[in-house]
Structure 1
Amino acid sequence: MSTQQGFEEMSHTQNERHPFLDDLASDAELVSSVLREPVVGRDAIRLAVNTVGTFYASQTPTFLQTVGSRLFLEYEATLKSGESLSATVVVDHNPDGSVPRVSVRMSPLGSVLSLAADLREALSKQLPTHVFL
């Protein structure tokens, strides 16, 4: 997959595949700087990732590369609050192509804490409260 093709896939539409959401295993795990504990399960991960996306005013992919069974994705984002955010996403793939684990590391800390608070507020009634910061 070319980097440009991968960048286009991040802006998910009905006809394009997302870099990892479409391939999540049913028991997949998401770990992130904005979470206290992992979010487990395909539906819960989709909910968390899609909700985080609603807090972005903009998102610009800067790197996409597959190495072995891992996809590495980096992007810069601006939160709707105006804060800037950098993220590195590591997506593990099983031999069958399914995704058992996604790790999302974000910085700087101020933006991470703002995003974590927004996520907790948005999803505390839909996901277990112990997963939130």
Structure 2
Amino acid sequence: MTGSNGEKHPFLDDLADDAELRGTVLRRPVSGRDNIKRLVEAVGTLYASQTPTFYGAIDQRHFLQYKATLRTGLDLEAVGVIERDETGLVRRVTMTFSPLDAALSLSAGLGGIVGEEFGDDLFYDASVNAITAS
């Protein structure tokens, strides 16, 4: 997946077959290049806009930071740590999202798009997390 302007994606183009994605919008890690690409594509459909604010590297660790607005209207900030091996393949991506309301909205939105494919227990579900009054 290369951007429309011909630039290489910060990590999708180099994912190892057994790469792992961890993040604040996921209840557990997701493994596998195709699964990670599918999730990243789904995230993109939930963004109304996205603006990169930083990309840099220290040795085999790359850092990505951006701001986005969800289609729900919530603003969100994301930081990604991309870990590469000695050959340059991406072995692990860890994404953090804030603030909490936007992160939960993103997780719930992902559940609506790919929940059946990945398992509904992977994403936030307000009905499961509701506190019932006694």
TM-score (norm: length of structure 2) = 0.87
> How far is the alpha carbon of 1:124 from its aligned partner?
1.2
- Match of residue 81 from structure 2: 90
CA contact (8 A) 2:67 2:78 kept: yes
Cα distance in 2 for residues equivalent to 1:47 and 1:35: 14
Structure 2 stretches lacking a partner, 5+ long = 125-134
The one-letter code of the counterpart of 1:101 is: R
Cα distance in 1 for residues equivalent to 2:119 and 2:5: 29
Cα distance in 2 for residues equivalent to 1:76 and 1:87: 6
Q: Give % identity.
A: 47
> How far is the alpha carbon of 1:125 from its aligned partner?
1.8
TM-score (norm: length of structure 1) = 0.88
Larger Cα Rg: Structure 1 or Structure 2? 2
Within the candidate set 121, 124, 130, 1:130 is matched to 121
Cα distance in 1 for residues equivalent to 2:18 and 2:30: 10
- CA-atom RMSD, angstroms? 1.6
Report Cα offsets for 1:13-67 as digits up to 9, x if no partner.
2833211001000010000110000111000000001110111111011111111
SS in 1 for 2:118: coil
- Match of residue 49 from structure 2: 58
- Match of residue 24 from structure 2: 33
Runs of 4 or more consecutive aligned structure 1 residues displaced over 6 Å after TM superposition: none
Aligned length: 124
Report Cα offsets for 1:101-130 as digits up to 9, x if no partner.
000000000001111000011001211333
